[in-house]
Structure 1
Amino acid sequence: MIVEDSAVVRHLLAHIVARDPRLALVAAVGSAEEALQELPRVKPDVISMDIRLPGMDGLEATRRIMAEQPTPIVVIADSVEDDSLRISMNALRAGALSVVEKPVGVATAGYDALADHICTQLFIMSDVPLIRRRDIGTRLSPRPPGPPLALPDRPALIGIAASTGGPQALAKLLGALPADFPVPILLVQHMGAAFMEGFAAWLDGVVPPKVALAQEGEVPQPGRVHVAPGDQHLRIGPDRTLRLTRDPPVGGQRPAATAMFHSIAEVYGSSGSGIILTGMGEDGARGLVALRRQGGLTITEDESTAVVFGMPAAAVRLGGSSLSLPLPLIAPRVLRLVQGGRPAG
Structure 2
Amino acid sequence: MKRKIRVLIVEDSLVVRELLKHIIGSDARFEILAAVDSAEKCLELLETTSPDVISLDIRLPGMNGLDATLQIMAKRPTPIVVVAAQVDDDELNIAMNALRAGALSVVEKPVGVTNVAFEAMAGKLCTQLAIMSQVKVVRQGIDRGLRFGSVEVPQAPNFRPGSYSMVGLCASTGGPQALVQVLCGLGDGYPLPILLVQHITSSFLEGFVSWLSGATPFQVHIGQEDELPLPGHIYVAPVDRHLALIHGRLAIQDGPAVSGQKPSGTVLFRSLARELGRQGIGVVLTGMGNDGADGLAEMRQAGGYTVGEDASTCVVFGMPSAAFKLGAVREMLPLPAIAPRLRDLANVGGGV
The counterpart of 2:181, out of the listed 172, 179, 183, is 172
Partner of 2:212: 203
Q: Does 1:279 align with 2:294?
A: no
Q: 1:236 aligns with which of 232, 242, 245?
A: 245
* Structure 1 residues 164-203: Cα deviation after superposition (integer angstroms, max 9, x where no partner): 0000000100011223211100000000110111000000
Residue 144 of structure 1 deviates from its aligned partner by 9.7
Contact map agreement 1:140 1:326 (CA 8 A) in 2:
no
Partner Cα distance (2:76, 2:53) in 1: 12
Alpha-carbon distance in 2 for matches of 1:120, 1:45:
14
Tell me by how many angstroms 1:151 deviates: 2.5
2:107 matches 1:100? yes
Per-residue CA shift, 1:256-283, capped at 9, x if unaligned? 0000000000011110110001000000
> Does the 8 Å CA contact 1:203/1:211 hold for their aligned counterparts?
yes
Q: How many angstroms does 1:131 deviate by?
A: 4.2
Match of 1:35 in 2: 42
Aligned to 1:249: 257
Q: How far 1:320 sits from its partner (Å)?
A: 0.4
Which residue of structure 2 lines up, in the alignment, with residue 157 of structure 1? 166
TM-score normalised per structure 2: 0.93
Q: Name the aligned partner's letter for residue 215 of structure 1.
A: Q
User: Take 2:266 and 2:82, find their aligned partners in 1: how far apart are those partners?
Assistant: 27
Offset of residue 232 of structure 1: 1.0
Structure 2 unmatched ranges of 5 or more: 1-7
> Which of 318, 325, 341 is the aligned partner of 1:333?
341
Corresponding residue number in structure 2 for 1:224:
233
CA contact (8 A) 1:97 1:165 kept: yes
Could you tell me how far apart the structure 2 residues matched to 1:334 and 1:141 are?
A: 16
Contact 1:70 1:130 in 2 (8 A): yes
Residues paired across the two proteins, number = 339
How far the C-alpha of 1:230 sits from its partner, in A, is 1.7
Q: Which residue of 2 aligns with 1:24?
A: 31
Q: What corresponds to 2:97 in structure 1?
A: 90
Deviations 1:214-242 (A, max 9, x none): 111111011101011121110111x2111
Conserved 8 A contact 1:286-1:320: yes
1:192 alignment partner in structure 2? 201
Identical-residue share of aligned pairs (%): 52
- SS of the residue aligned with 1:27? strand
Do the aligned partners of 2:194 and 2:234 also contact (CA within 8 Å) in 1? yes
| 1:13 corresponds to 2:13 | no
Ranges of 4+ aligned residues in structure 1 off by more than 6 Å = 140-144
- Does 1:299 find its partner at 2:335? no
